[in-house]
Structure 1
Amino acid sequence: MFEIPSDLPLKLSSLAWLLGHWQGWGTVAAPGTMPPAETDTKDNSATQPAEEETDSRFDAVLQDLEAAVVGEQMRMTIRTYEGELADEFDPLWTAAEGLDNIQPGALISEETTYWSVDTPLAVVPAGPDEGRELRVVGSGTRGFAVLWAGVVMGPRIQLASDAVVRAPRADALDHFSRMFGLVGGELMWASEAMPAGGEYEVEITGRLQRTASADEVAAKTSRASRHEDGDPSDG
């Protein structure tokens, strides 16, 4: 269901494969499995037992991702819901199989980001390992505002946080990195987070299928906007 949207700016052409509505499943790090922040133990390290390492555990979730053209940028909204398993979890499920076997629960998080392509169109990447530079900014319900820098190389994207602002009660995470890729027609993505004083750990993964084109997403958004404005033509 991949179609080039009618309003696609030329400068966003390298992101065209990502546009549309995607749905599927993923995993999130279960509460308490992210490593804690380091503390100063120089005065009592000899008397305190070594802290046990926390085993990572991941819970299945459902995900909804929309990527649409907004002016000269791409807007991406990701919603993650608790997953209620109808049967035993299989990590090899396709996106469609995950949707069939996982029922949506409460909303865990919602995040909206705005993407810009910084590399001028006149600059042609020299090889497969050189892509177009991305600048992404956004925030979400978890209490983070993040400025990202990254690169898109064909149907692959790598992002790393350039600056992170945390709300007072947000988790003590200092850096993030993300990867997106189109594999066999499905969108695979993963996000890593770095706790204060720690190392990168996988925080969330996703495996999604496209369920609507970019034009269909834009039409739905337009109808919703007219309805909110009380447009009588929106019947």
Structure 2
Amino acid sequence: MPITLDTSLPPSLYPLAWLIGSWEGTGALSTADASTPDIRIEQQLSCTAGEDGTMQWRSTIHRIDAPAPLPPTSAFARDTETEPPAAAGSGERTLLHREDGIWTVGDLLPGQDREAAEAARPGTPGSFLSHRLEAHLSRRDEPAEEWAGEVRGPRVQLALASPDGEIAATRMFGYVSGRLMWLWEHRRPVPDGAAGETALTPYLSLEMHRV
């Protein structure tokens, strides 16, 4: 599905034109225990243009007492052939988290050829330019987080740095065939007495459609 550019948007938000709007969808929450099936989640997401040229982000995710969707919605679903089927569940909804924030598109990343991109056929890989991206996100009763990364065409990559400068979490968003796919990975706490740090592992993934 082609991306329609709303020319009423501030020019600073043109790189995020494909994300502006309201979305909802389902996905999977990864459990720390490999023997425990993934958990179904549902998200309502609103991305609106701010008068100051930033994008306002509001996300609400509920945990559902029900089996997680099958792939491709669950980007990290386990091998169902080797696991017993999950119980149907009660369908009870529990708020996982509500998040508000502001996204800011910055300057072009260095080393790009703007003239070549403008001359390329729209929608082709050569027509996309990479812009710096910052997201200030906050959830109730938790410190605000400063995510940084880039937007290139219909794709966003964000990373959250830990106090020591290491990557603590990542988020990847993509606009695919009219749907919004995204994956959130993080580092789980290191077990007591263990050395080093854990690797980035999937936390949640979702497949969303426009409302």
- What TM-score results when the alignment is normalised by the length of structure 1? 0.63
Q: Please, which moves more after superposition, 192-201 or 54-63?
A: 54-63
| CA deviation string 1:53-81 (max 9, x = no partner) | x5574201111111001121001111111
Structure showing greater radius of gyration is 1
On the 8 A contact 2:108/2:130 being kept in 1, the answer is no
Q: 1:64 to 1:18 in 2, by over 3 A?
A: same
Q: 1:186 to 1:103 in 2, by over 3 A?
A: farther
Which amino acid is the alignment partner of residue 21 of structure 1? Answer: S
Matched residues in 1 for 2:151 and 2:181: separation? 14
Offset, 1:195: 3.1
Offset, 1:108: 1.1
Answer yes or no: is 1:131 the counterpart of 2:130. yes
Structure 2, unpaired ranges of 5+:
74-89, 118-124, 190-196
Offset, 1:185: 0.8
Residue 183 of structure 2 aligns with which residue?
Answer: 190
Residue 200 of structure 1 aligns with which residue?
Answer: 200
Matched residues in 2 for 1:104 and 1:200: separation? 29
Select 1:177's aligned residue among 152, 170, 174: 170
Answer yes or no: is 1:91 the counterpart of 2:79. no
Structure 1, unpaired ranges of 5+:
34-53, 95-101, 165-173, 212-235
Residue 59 of structure 1 aligns with which residue?
Answer: 39
Matched residues in 1 for 2:36 and 2:19: separation? 30
Matched residues in 1 for 2:16 and 2:159: separation? 17
Higher relative contact order (CA 8 A, sep 6+): 1
- What TM-score results when the alignment is normalised by the length of structure 2? 0.69
Q: 1:163 to 1:146 in 2, by over 3 A?
A: farther
Residue 194 of structure 2 aligns with which residue?
Answer: none
Matched residues in 1 for 2:161 and 2:92: separation? 33
Matched residues in 1 for 2:187 and 2:30: separation? 13
Which amino acid is the alignment partner of residue 78 of structure 1? Answer: S
Offset, 1:133: 1.0
Matched residue count? 174
On the 8 A contact 2:19/2:47 being kept in 1, the answer is yes
**What percent identity do the matched residue pairs reach?**
27
| CA deviation string 1:140-194 (max 9, x = no partner) | 1362421111111110110111456xxxxxxxxx711000001111100010111
Q: 1:89 to 1:198 in 2, by over 3 A?
A: closer
Detail structure 1 runs of 4+ shifted over 6 Å in the superposition: none
Q: 1:126 to 1:144 in 2, by over 3 A?
A: farther
SS in 1 for 2:186: strand
Q: 1:119 to 1:163 in 2, by over 3 A?
A: farther
More helix per residue: 1 or 2?
A: 1
Q: CA RMSD in A?
A: 3.4
Residue 78 of structure 1 aligns with which residue?
Answer: 59
On the 8 A contact 1:81/1:104 being kept in 2, the answer is no
Q: 1:11 to 1:195 in 2, by over 3 A?
A: same
Residue 158 of structure 1 aligns with which residue?
Answer: 157
Answer yes or no: is 1:113 the counterpart of 2:101. yes
